[in-house]
Chains A and B, each alone.
Chain A
């Protein structure tokens, strides 16, 4: 009877479902009506899972694309200019403030991601203990290899920067090529680790509270990335002395703040409504 249901559903609910069918039959043979209704429910569940999977796949692809766009866009837009020019003294404060905000957001996002990882860790351990390791082993090996390569390239860059002056480095096409190659290696390593995480995450059996926490942390990280874009534009405007880019960055920052405030207000309103309904129901 269970063959109509998707595999993941059978693994999660199969045993208790069959126990319930046995209890309700009480030793009698299953009727055709029961068989048809179970088959129909199984097909509906397949439809639901398919919709869910396509939504998740879309979300994953958007997330990957977005992150890659961020890193690549940052490298193309900011780094080459930074080697050729530094902000004029009048705009130094703007670049310093933008860099400070970038650092703070990077640290904040890092903490959010770390909290998300810690919250999901017990479910990940359960997944590995239940035979999940072979499913992620190869991806982890690739990601680890890419990390070692990126780490080696980064160490080479640091060594090169110690042996030469800033003016020599800024004028060196080899050093610039090294920076770009290292950045690319870091992007590939990040991409591969993202692949490991998404592969494992879609198989994790997270408790409802953890799922809710992950959703909130994901939202926080997304807004943080949006702020990073805006601050990048402001930083770039300081280097280029461009008022237009400064206004563009400030507008993007205001739009992000507005979107975040709206999201928080809607969530708070929904929470208040549920709490007051809960109070009335008592």
Chain B
């Protein structure tokens, strides 16, 4: 089945780039802190390969940027286009969620 992919490159569900952007939305974090935070709020364990693959793509698209660091743990922060892309992806997900809940009769009939 063909899937629709937004211009930001963010997909739905447990997409590592989306989880990373959500994690960075409340402040800069380095790799290990990101993995721990994502495991805590989403219950998804991202290995180093998957995490850094996603970080590489997000940085290429200008959605996150590295901060200066003296030690090996380089923190990343979300950029303005990153915040906008995250907001667009989350709004999209909220619309789908509301529709699903409404059809199940669990959201007061709002769709």
Contacts and interface: CB of A to CB of B under 8 A. Distances in A.
B85 A274 contact: yes
Interface string A67-89: 00000000000000000000000
B13 to A, nearest CB: 18
Nearest to B80: A278
B62 A211 contact: yes
A20 B7 contact: no
Contact of B53 (A16, A41, A208): A41
A44 interface: yes
A37 B88 contact: no
Interface string B92-104: 0000000000000
Given A16-B74, A17-B48, A277 B56 contact: no
B79 A38 contact: no
Interface residues of A, number: 35
Contacts of A21: 48
B84 interface: yes
B65 A207 contact: yes
Contacts of A270: 7
Contacts of B110: none
Contacts of B53: 41, 44-45
Contact of A9 (B50, B56, B62): B56
A19 interface: yes
B108 to A, nearest CB: 20
Interface of B: 7, 30-32, 35, 47-53, 55-56, 59, 62, 65, 71-74, 79-81, 83-88, 90-91
Given A17-B48, A19-B30, A273-B88, 5 more contacts: A20-B35, A40-B49, A42-B49, A278-B80, A278-B83
9 contacts: A16-B30, A17-B48, A18-B72, A19-B71, A34-B47, A38-B48, A280-B87, A281-B83, A281-B88
